[in-house]
Structure 1
Amino acid sequence: MPRWEQGTEDRLREAALALFLEHGYENVTVTQITERAGVTRRTFSRYFADKRDVLFAGSDQLPAALADAVLKADPGLTPFEALLSALERVGDTVAARVARHAAQRQAIVDSSTELKERGRTKFAAVSDALDAALQQRGAAPPTAGMLANVGVAIFRTAFGRWVDEPDAAACSVRMREAADELAQALDRR
């Protein structure tokens, strides 16, 4: 049984974030991260596939988590209400998991074209998963696809606002605010 030192993953993440902020994401190597964290490259590979994974680890679980939350929402809810319920529930879960490094991570992603593209790819997978879940709940395919894209827009907007001011309101509150803002904008047309 391997004996891994407790806290190694956190040390690696802390080292990577500090280096990314100091030198820019593109200018940092895995070797620099491991040296700063005081571990070997092999140890790094036990926790992360590459340096991008330091920022996106666990994000592959988001599509399934949101789709599952849509499917488990009260059957009496409309497709949009089920979507919003899922966004609120999963948003708080994600926020709790990433709260410690959310602002740093977002600043790093925003500064890199490569990382922004990775984020877009991640959210395309979220949209596909939401689309499928909404169709499973009975939404017509064109409507499900549109709502899935709207859900991604609400999630990204609300999560970004939560990252900017994490102590001002829960992420679920930000989800509801973003949905309300969208509804008000649509009422004005």
Structure 2
Amino acid sequence: MARWEPGARDRLVVAAVDLFTEQGYDETTVAQIAERAGVTKSTFFRHFPDKRELLVAGQEMLSRLLAEGIADAPEGASALDAVAAGLENASSAMGPANRDLGPRIKAAVAASSELQERDALKSVGMAVAMTDALVARGVPVVQAHLAAELGVLSFKQGYARWVEAGPADERGLAVHALGVLGELRAAAAALG
């Protein structure tokens, strides 16, 4: 096995997604994932505490990128403009591999209540990171919560649109996420 070959973490995620899709989450073992990825079981456990964590592997990085983008937004930016900056920053880290994995991850999550719970926690983590970053900018707490929730919805729907558009659409994730944010802004304004 290629114990020290670079990219083990990414290979483990891809192997897990493939196995979850092929045989189901509950039927997939850590040993099978490690074997498919070409690493040892101990290498698996150096990267992940258990198989549940595989599909939310990038959660911390995504939340950090969203918060950093919000923090770096121009002074005086509105809460939603700061969220837009966070979405752009986080989207910059998403490439073709993320788009390719999207439908397979969605299928694996849909087939497992345990993974659905982990996915819901991912959304909560993103919202908390954005809320905290907005509050640090001086946005009132209630507005920060609402803007963060709109940011999560924009990211998730934008990601779904980006995946659906496929490789023929060379625009990045940011275009789709910001498009959704614009639609949500218009919808909120129409509520009166």
TM score, norm. by length of structure 2 = 0.85
Task: Give the fraction of aligned pairs with identical amino acids, expressed as a percent.
Answer: 36
Query: Which residue pairs with 1:12 in the alignment?
Result: 12
In structure 1, list runs of 5 or more residues that go unmatched.
none
Deviations 1:30-67 (CA, angstroms, capped at 9, x unpaired): 12223334543223222322212322212122222211
Instruction: Rate the CA distance shift 1:8–1:151 in 2: closer, same or farther, 3 A.
Output: closer
Equivalent residues in 2 for 1:26-41, closer than 5 Å: 26-41=26-41
Aligned residues between the structures: 187
- Asked if 1 retains the 8 angstrom alpha-carbon contact of 2:69 and 2:89, the reply is yes
- Asked if 1 retains the 8 angstrom alpha-carbon contact of 2:69 and 2:88, the reply is no
TM score, norm. by length of structure 1 = 0.86
1:179 aligns with 2:181: yes
Query: Which residue pairs with 1:128 in the alignment?
Result: 128
Instruction: Rate the CA distance shift 1:176–1:7 in 2: closer, same or farther, 3 A.
Output: closer
Cα shift at 1:147: 1.0
Where has structure 1 moved over 4 Å in runs of 4 or more? none
Instruction: Rate the CA distance shift 1:5–1:64 in 2: closer, same or farther, 3 A.
Output: closer
Distance 2:87 2:21 in 1: 30
Distance 1:81 1:45 in 2: 40
Equivalent residues in 2 for 1:72-151, closer than 5 Å: 72-95=72-95, 98-151=98-151
Deviations 1:83-112 (CA, angstroms, capped at 9, x unpaired): 112112212313456234232222212222
Distance 1:11 1:155 in 2: 25
- Asked if 1 retains the 8 angstrom alpha-carbon contact of 2:63 and 2:130, the reply is yes
1:21 aligns with 2:15: no
Instruction: Rate the CA distance shift 1:6–1:155 in 2: closer, same or farther, 3 A.
Output: closer
Instruction: Rate the CA distance shift 1:7–1:185 in 2: closer, same or farther, 3 A.
Output: closer
Distance 1:177 1:4 in 2: 42
Code of the residue aligned with 2:43 in structure 1: it is T
CA RMSD of the aligned region, Å? 2.2
- Asked if 2 retains the 8 angstrom alpha-carbon contact of 1:91 and 1:159, the reply is no
In structure 2, list runs of 5 or more residues that go unmatched.
none
SS in 2 for 1:139: coil
